[in-house]
Amino acid sequence: MQSPRGTSDLSEFHDEDFFEWTRQNAQLLRAGQVRASDIRHIAEEIEDLGKQDLKELHRRSRALLAHLLVGQVQPARHAHWRLAPVTEERIWLHGLVEYSPSLKSRLANELPAIFAGAVRLAMAMARTVPDRERFPVECPFTVEQILDPEFLPQLQQERPDAITT
């Protein structure tokens, strides 16, 4: 095994060979040689890991909400396939929240912004003339309902004048 590079070398190595940079820094940290490791980049990478989980929480919850909304406004058209994507998104969300419980409170705090994106996505998924008033202004679901593997919302009556393609 190669011996770890010096601190200044490791900092430059971060952009040249990330995989080897991670291995060498892990070796230094396990050996208690914190000062020899690339602390600045390690801190950035740790922060980035958290940001990735937060982005995944946003992406998965936005997709889940969009499927729930489309299922509500077009129950006949989407009943046959919407359960699988709803289940998949909930499995992902459960894993994220189980691994990082603080993400549940982030979901609650950021639900309005996530829901706004979900409505835009639902309008595209519904494949109808954009009809924003068919969708609620605020998220009608609680965080508990969103994460509940058994929850499905009440279905609305499909409007006969809705244009579908």
Please count the other Cβ atoms lying within 10 Å of the Cβ belonging to residue 22.
15
Residues 61 and 139 in one domain: yes
Evaluate whether residue 80 is within a structural domain.
Answer: yes
In this structure, the answer to whether residues 64 and 136 fall within a common structural domain is yes
Residue 95 falls inside a structural domain:
yes
- One domain for residues 27 and 102: no
- Has residue 31 got a pLDDT over 70? yes
Domain assignment present for residue 116? The answer is yes
DSSP codes joined into one string, 70-126: HHHH-HHHHTTTSHHHHHHHHHHHHHHHHH-THHHHHHHHHHHHHHHHHHHHHHHHH
Distance between CA atoms of residues 121 and 131, nearest Å = 12
- In total, how many domains does the chain have? 2
Residue 2 lies in a domain: no
Percent of the chain scoring above 90 in pLDDT: 63
Whether residue 92 sits in one domain with residue 59: yes
Q: What is the pTM of this model?
A: 0.77
63: domain range? 51-147
Burial of 10 (0-12, 13-18, 19+ CB in 10 A): buried
pLDDT digits (tens, 9 = 90+) for 114-129: 999 999 999 888 776 5
Question: Is residue 92 over pLDDT 60?
Answer: yes
Higher per-residue confidence, 157 vs 23: 23
Mean pLDDT (whole number) for 81-89? 85
- What average pLDDT does the structure give for the chain? 85
Amino acid identity, position 106: R
Query: Can you name the residues that pair with 94 across neighbouring β-strands?
Result: none
Unique residue bearing structure tokens 């940290």: 29
Q: What percent of the chain lies above the pLDDT cut of 70?
A: 82
